[in-house]
Amino acid sequence: MISRSRIREVAAGGALEPIVTRSALIDEFVVRIASALDAKAKAPKPRADPLGDFEPELYLGDVGPSHYALLNKYPVLPDHLLIVTRAAEPQDRLLGAEDFAALAHVMGELDALGFYNGGRDAGASQGRKHLQLLPLPLAAEAATPVPLERLITSGALPFMHAFAPLAGLAEMHARYRELLARCGITALAEEKHSAPYNLLATRRWMLVVPRRRERAEGISINALGFAGSLFVRNDEELERVRRARPMNILRTVTLQSPRGYI
């Protein structure tokens, strides 16, 4: 069982290297400045597959027969979990029923935001397939557990996306396939996706956002950007976000449609 007590037990082991941040509220977005992200990006990477060849001190436990859970070694937010496939599947492969069974198992214990970066152009930084979770609320500064929840649930995001409410965690896989279809994302050979995308899921709803590029204003955007949580490396990048406006940055990395939602 991946409980909060188990997470705290592993976190207390001393293997984590949390990244200290400062935050700014711009429009409805929480933008975190983490200067250590720059140093982390430049640091040598001794493990070719850090999610498969992981540090034992990060291991939380098995999640069913096909997945296991790790703590993120370099968390920007507390209790950042990774749900990793035991088989070495690539991150550009569509999620399957076993992936959602593992996600539902953990979300049944923890009220969290689950998310997936479908490919490099969607902000994925690791090659092995993995889902991620962060406990809710994402930010004390925000008015809702997910900063952009009001816009997400009302269909008001100004770029192509597909949204669905959830009646229960057991239906996540079916809703995911429906949302992909609405976005025109299909399965290619070996179940690889036909286009990059981001997935966000809570106990109450699910969102899929097709992507066309990873960066805007020199800033990498992953699934958390569509939750209203952006990360920058320094004050210069923060000012770029402030000038461009966060929602315009999201528009730059997504596809456009007349209504936004589909």
Q: H or E stretch including 84?
A: strand 81-85
- Sorted by sequence, the CB contacts under 8 Å of residue 189 that are 6+ apart come out as none
The pair of three-digit structure tokens given for residue 165, joined into one six-digit string: 């409410």
Per the domain annotation, does 84 fall within a domain? Answer: yes
Tell me the C-alpha distance between 194 and 53, whole Å: 28
pLDDT per residue as tens digits for the range 135-167: 999 999 999 999 999 999 999 999 999 999 999
pLDDT at 261: 61
CA distance 223 to 209: 8
* 195, 184 Cβ separation under 8 angstroms: yes
Does residue 93 belong to any structural domain of this protein? yes
Radius of gyration of the chain (CA): 17
The pLDDT assigned to 42 comes to 55
Residue 262 lies in a domain: no
Determine the pLDDT at residue 45: 61
89/74 Cα distance (integer angstroms): 23
Domain encompassing residue 113: 4-253
CATH of the domain at 115: 3.30.428.70
Report yes or no on 154 lying in a domain: yes
- Tell me, yes or no, if the pTM score tops 0.85: yes
- Please, what are the averages of pLDDT over each run of 10 residues along the chain (262 residues)? 89 92 96 77 69 96 97 95 96 97 97 97 96 96 96 96 98 98 96 97 98 97 98 96 98 84 61
Please report whether residue 86 resides in a domain: yes
Strand bridging mode 130-135 / 81-85: antiparallel
Question: For the chain, what is the domain count?
Answer: 1
Q: Looking at the domain assignment, is residue 261 inside a domain?
A: no
Q: Which residue has the tokens 């001393």?
A: 14
Do residues 188 and 94 lie in contact, with contact meaning Cβ atoms separated by under 8 Å?
A: no
pLDDT of residue 257: 75
Instruction: Give residue 35's Cα distance to chain centre.
Output: 20
Tokens 């409805």 identify what position? 28
Residue 123 within any structural domain of the chain:
yes
The per-residue pLDDT for 39 is 53
The answer to whether residue 119 sits within a structural domain is: yes
